[in-house]
Structure 1
Amino acid sequence: MNRQQKINIAAKTIAMAGLLTLGGCMVGPDFKQPESGLPQTWQDQYSKRLMNEGQVANKWWEQFHDPVLSQLINQVSTSNLDLKMAAERLSQSKAIFQSVASERLPSVDGGVSYNRGRSSQKGLADIAGLDGKSNFNVWDTGIDSTWEVDLWGRVKRAVEAADAKVTVAESDRQAVYLSLMAETASHYIRLRGIQELLEVTQQNLDTANKAVNLTQIKFEQGVATDLDVSEASALQASIQARIPSLEQQASETMNALSLLTAQPPSSLNKTLTHRSKIPSLDSTIAMGVPSELAQRRPDIRRAEAQLHAATASIGIAEANFYPSITLSGSMGFQANQLSDLGSWSTHRFAFGPSVNIPIFEGGRLKAMLELSEGQQKEAALAYQKTVLSAWHEVDDAVLGLENQQKRERHLEEAVAQSRKALASAQSQYKQGTSDYLNVLSVQNSLLANELDLATSKASKSLAAVRLYKALGGGWKDS
């Protein structure tokens, strides 16, 4: 056989492999995007004064118009360690995909080897032809190649599953980003709420201090009793006792924000200690349409990708029932002397297919197929549950925001009336027409209402953050 004939054989082998691949089929079910089951529009009972069907804000935190909050979120998006770990997991998933995708191409390896040895004089083989009487050298260089002919689509299904798992990792990273943005905004809103509680408490303490001084003077003048002085002093001490707890809460919240930005404790105190008003929305919240929820929410996208991967795995399990064909070949040079290596007389080659046919596996292949089908059914149920849970979260968040706004309006009215009542009670006490117990009762009522109002303002903004998170806003910016 001359050199041209050998080249022709190699070419025919490669052509046959190509025809086999083109003629192959994909076993297993093809993935179809599942129906989300979400409605066409949001429920009519949602307040139009709070919600609209415009596009959900991508950078939703900017709707609060608080530059410090926006700055914190920028720091978290670039420095947070959980987000960086999620990005690394995504990179690992992409590396796995590249490894699996490489199976679609032939594997080619090259090498050079040298051996010095001697054959046995009594042995069955003497590759050097020296009857085992002297040592010999073997120089070998060449290229080896193997390639699995993907007749049944096993490799394609494996690549499809690996690609879906990249989407899973991408969705996980997006979910971490969305969660961190919501957590940062929530901590910041709580901090501003605590600071407002501190301010309200301090204002009431100032009023209590004045009341103590007033009752002391009236006691000395003989127009007040020691009971009045004791009651005023007790209220003063009670208000003072609230301050250390609030200061501790503020410190812990600032440290939580420092951790989110990957900084040491107290790093943000200089920026955050200066009081600012509680962030509040000055416009309605765009909710989009329900059908967009499946594309926006990272957890729904993740569940869909998990279902895709599980569906592709069925094809892998089915392909294992069929014969597999692997083409292998090698070519190179072998000689006893290095100076001869490379000449045509020292060349070697081998080409040929190998076929592996599963005959008896003891039920292993059937069990693996049943396992894959069961996992696919479970993934489909998990997708349905994820969508339904997301729908519930949106509904709860909307109703929560509406109720918090109603509560705030009532508390604003309660505070206004309590302030009027306190001014009237103090005036009557100074004129001697009312005892101090009436002043004390009204002041306690005012303090409670003012504290509830400050808490309600923060709760309303926290409810807006919860709604934005439920809608899946923000992750695209990551």
Structure 2
Amino acid sequence: MRRLSFLLAFSLVGCVPAVSPSVPVLGGVSAPSTLTKANAAVQPRENGALPDKWWESFHNPALDRLVEQALAHNPGLDEARNRLLEAQAQVFKSKSLLYPHVNSGGALIHTRISRNGPTEPYSGVTANLATLFPLMVNYDLDLWGRDDALIQASEASEEITRAKYRESALMLSSAVIKTYFALHSAKELVEGQTRIVQLNEERMKLLDTSFQTGIGPKPPVLTSQTQWHEARNELEKLQRQLSSLNYALYELIGKSPEDTLTPTASSLPDQFPLPARVDLNLVSQRPDVQAALWNIKRSEHLEKVARTAFYPNINLVGLMGFNSIGISDLVTPAGGTYAYGPAFDLPIFEGGALEGQLHAMEAARNSAIDAYNHALLVAVREIADGLSTMKHRRERLEEISAAVTARTAETALDQEKFGAGISGKLPYLDALIRLESEQMKKTEESLDWLNSITDTATALGGGFGGWAS
């Protein structure tokens, strides 16, 4: 017996291929501290990550309600939630490997028994063979941890699905926020362009009257008509954009378009509070990074499953029931039978199938590590880009705000000149058109500033790294 055990162990050692080394995992990532500490657009926070529901810092209850509605009713997110429920069910199913499997069964076979068979006195007889086993037990001892590895791989798959669910929620919240900002900006742009159309129309009529009375020439009238038509075309373009954004927002919150949404202005912060340090602890709160990390763990468990396939599989089996030739004597004391004992199977020659499967799992493990490393680097790059863009957008907003202030003072001066009779109304109308154009540019820059905040918050995980699911 000892010799048999030694030969079995020796054969196992010789059959299992050597462990393939894995690629290295990035131990740490970070972004330059100047992107936060020397960034006028950022209010550094020394401790803590991005807070949950960070968008509430815009102090816009309507926006808060829309994000909540989207997270509760968006069909795409519901689909991701159902995939998570499916993954949880798979975990529940895989845990059944830990327990004995108990079944019952039976059969009734009409057969002719061979004359050469060891079944005297039934040789050459045609009979009904009946079996009834109310109790059949099969229990996998799992000596090598294969079942446990399968369960852990299933649990890792659940965590991957949960992380992807969180990522879907993150992307959805970002889309709602940016669409809401764009809708409000489009509304302001339509209002501003409407005023420009009206001012151009008044300017065109004034020049036409001047021409009709013989005071002014014809060319300025033609130029003003062209400018009015161009302003009208731009207004129609902005109105279509406003309508499209309205429908898009309804789609995101999981509703059909019922009416025109009326967005309200959000608080426009001078700075946005963000973590002072961009390191691995912060980056790992991104759902996509979480999914990549769990994918490594799943690959390691599946690699172990592939490795244990080289070892013998040992089960305890047992059954209790009845069998008989003929139905009438089946359920009788004489027909009773039972059996129990260990059973094992050991792969000896598989034509390279097991070795190929193991190498495939090793490659999948290395691929998962590479994907994780890539996810970390992409995350740091996106965060760095977001912080840099925030700085640039804040500077641009300050510049355009200063230009609007200067244009407002210039327009007020033209208004005084017109009121005092020093100049005509035409210069004053031109000044009003320039002021409206500058204010529309400020609206666009304000939208870019809000979008840069949203993009950076999204790159940081949007607070969804621990979102309840």
With structure 2 as the length reference, what TM-score do the two structures score?
Answer: 0.84
Residue 192 of structure 1 deviates from its aligned partner by: 0.6
Change (3 A) 1:442 1:233: same
- Amino acid corresponding to residue 280 of structure 1 in structure 2: L
More divergent stretch after superposition (423-432 vs 244-253) = 423-432
Does residue 230 of the first structure (1) align with residue 222 of the second (2)? yes
2:458 is matched with 469
Distance 2:213 2:422 in 1: 12
Change in Cα spacing, 1:200 to 1:36, as seen in structure 2 (3 Å) is: farther
In the alignment, the residues of structure 2 paired with residue 211 and residue 314 of structure 1 have an alpha-carbon distance, to the nearest angstrom, of 77
SS of the aligned residue for 1:332 comes to strand
Identity across matched positions, percent: 22
1:192 and 2:184 aligned = yes
1:69-468 aligned at under 5 Å gives the runs: 69-114=63-108, 117=110, 119-120=112-113, 122=115, 124=117, 126=119, 129=121, 138=130, 140-219=132-211, 222-264=214-256, 266-267=257-258, 269-270=259-260, 272=261, 274=262, 276-278=264-266, 280-281=268-269, 284-287=272-275, 289=277, 290-334=279-323, 344-424=333-413, 445-468=434-457
Per-residue deviation, 1:447? 4.1
Cα pair 1:157 1:316 within 8 Å, conserved: yes
Q: Is the 8 A contact 1:164 1:308 kept in 2?
A: yes
Deviation, structure 1 residue 159: 1.4
CA distance in 1, matches of 2:273, 2:407: 32
In structure 1, C-alpha distance between the alignment counterparts of 2:129 and 2:155, rounded to whole Å: 49
| Structure 2 SS opposite 1:296 | coil
Greater shift in the superposed pair: 459-468 or 287-296:
287-296
Write the distance in 1 (CA, Å) between the matches of 2:401 and 2:242: 24
Q: Could you say which residue in structure 1 is the equivalent of 2:15?
A: none
CA shift, 1:157, in A, is 1.4
Specify the alignment match of 1:38 in structure 2: 29
Q: CA deviation at 1:212?
A: 3.2
Q: Residue 257 of structure 1: CA displacement?
A: 1.3
Which secondary structure state, in structure 2, belongs to the residue aligned with residue 374 of structure 1? helix
Q: Which ranges of structure 1 fall in alignment gaps of 5 or more residues?
A: 1-26
User: Number of matched residues?
Assistant: 444
Amino acid at match of 2:446: K
Report which stretch shifted further, 341-350 or 247-256: 341-350
- 8 Å CA contact retained: 1:97, 1:162: yes
Do the aligned partners of 1:118 and 1:132 also contact (CA within 8 Å) in 2?
A: no
Shift of residue 244 of structure 1? 1.0
Which consecutive unaligned segments of at least 5 residues does structure 2 have? Answer: 1-17
**Deviation of the 1:28 alpha carbon:** 7.8
Query: What residue number does 1:17 align with?
Result: none
Corresponding residue SS for 2:339 = strand
Q: Is the alpha carbon distance of 1:212 and 1:391 closer, same or farther for their aligned partners in structure 2, counting shifts above 3 Å?
A: same
Query: Using the alignment, how far apart are the partners of 2:238 and 2:231 within structure 1?
Result: 11
Task: Please report the RMSD computed on the Cα atoms of aligned residues, expressed in angstroms.
Answer: 3.2
**C-alpha spacing 1:318/1:280, structure 2 compared with 1 (3 Å):** same
Letter in 2 for 1:150: D
| Range that drifts further, 221-230 or 173-182 | 221-230
Q: Is the 8 A contact 1:194 1:246 kept in 2?
A: yes
Measured in 2, the distance between the counterparts of 1:311 and 1:38 equals 23
How far residue 455 of structure 1 moved from its aligned partner, in angstroms, is: 0.5
Q: 1: CA distance between counterparts of 2:192 and 2:128?
A: 97
SS in 2 for 1:349: strand
Seen in structure 2, the aligned counterparts of structure 1 residues 385 and 348 have a Cα distance that, compared at 3 Å, is same
1:103, distance to aligned residue in structure 2 (A): 1.8
Query: What is the letter of the counterpart of residue 463 of structure 2?
Result: G
